[in-house]
Amino acid sequence: MKKQLVLFLAIGIMFLFFQSFSPELPSEAGFPEEITSILKASCFDCHHTGSNSEKALNALNFATWDEYRTTKQIALLSDIAKVTKERKMPPGKYLENKPDAELFDKHIQLLADWTEQEAEKLMQGN
């Protein structure tokens, strides 16, 4: 019984530990759930705090989205649409190791539509 309790506690602590490292967008960003799901699956490994890719984080860090100026957010939204439409992101080298991160046409279209709508909202707010 004591061993089971210790095992149960250890599993619980490990679960909480790994949950604390789960990449999440700041709630203030207000990204739609479907967009957040695409970003988590295909972008967060490189473009979120904790990534080993300094170059990717310098280009865009979703964890600090709300800290970007509005003009920077608009530019980044345009960049997201462009690099996904051109299939430059996620990069082929990354997809070799993580093929499930590939963006399909429907994902690319969802991102393009969302980035356009979001950029329009931001521009109207200025």
pLDDT class of 20 with cuts at 50, 70, 90: very low
Interval 103-107 mean pLDDT: 98
Q: What is the pTM of this model?
A: 0.76
Give residue-wise pLDDT tens across range 61-98: 999 999 999 999 999 999 999 999 999 999 999 999 99
CA distances from 57 to 41, 45, 47, 107 (A): 16, 10, 5, 22
Give residue-wise pLDDT tens across range 41-60: 999 999 999 999 999 999 99
Q: In the predicted model, what is the mean pLDDT of the chain?
A: 85
Q: For residues 79 and 87, give the distance between their C-alpha atoms in angstroms, rounded to a whole number.
A: 12
